[in-house]
Chains A and B, each alone.
Chain A
C-alpha cells in the first residue's frame, strides 16, 4: 500500500475513535492512543488534525501529550525494548541491566539507536513482579532476565530480520 493510502487508512482509524465519542473534547486521550498505535508516535501534523477535529487548543493537546509517559513525540525504532524499573525488578538488578544495555547498544531510557533499529524505554511497572526482573521485547514479556540474557535477546531481536 503506497504511503498516501496507508496514511489514509490510519487516518480513518483516528476518525473512527473520534466519531465513537461524538468528537467531544474528552475523547482526546483515547484519540491520542489511536494515533500512537497507528503512526507509532504523535507527530505534529496529527496533533493539529486532532486539535481541529475535537476543537481542543493546540497548546492544551501538547500539554496532554507530554504529561503521559506512554505517549511519545519522537518516531520509534523498528524494535522496542521496555525494561521494567518497578521496585521488585529494581532490587533484583535493574541497574546492572541498564548499564549492560548502555554498553552494548549505546542507548539509555527513551533513546533510539542511530540505525533506528532499537528504541529503549523503561516502564514504571508492567505487573510481572513475580518474574522480576522483567522486560517487554516487541510486546512479548521476558521474565527473570539477567544482563547477559537481555543483551542476547535484544541482539537477536534487532538482527534477526536482516
Chain B
C-alpha cells in the first residue's frame, strides 16, 4: 500500500463555492480518501495549519493582512500549492473593489447601503489591504486550477494526477468563468 499523501484545503477571501465543487466529486470522494489524508480543512475540525503538507487546495483571493500571513505560512509548509478557483488565480470578484478607494468601499458597504447603521467596524477584525490580490502575487503557485467554480471532474483529475506524481495538463480542460 503506497504511503497516503496529506491534503489540506482552505479558503481565504472566497465564497466556498470551490469547496462545494470539491465535495461534488460525489462517490469519487472515497477514492480521494484512499489516496489523501485530509489534514486541514474547513470541513475538518483542525485549528493549526500542519507542517509539510503534500498538496494544498487554496481557494479565495488575498484581501487582508491575516490572509497574507496565512498564505505565506501555507506556502512554507506545502509541497504543491494549488490556486484553487478563479478567486485564487485572478482575484476574480473580490478584486472588483480594487479600483475604488478603500474608505469609499467602507462607506458604501456599511453606511450608504445599510440605513440606520453609522459605524464602520474596525476592532478585532482583519485589516483590509488597499487591494485584493491573487495568490501568486505573494507566493509561488505550483498549479493553477481555473474555474468559478472549477468542475468536480477537473478537481478530481488534478488530485489524481498529482497523486501519480504527474503535473496536471489543465489547459484544454479548464478555463476562467
Direct contact of A and B (CB under 8 A): no
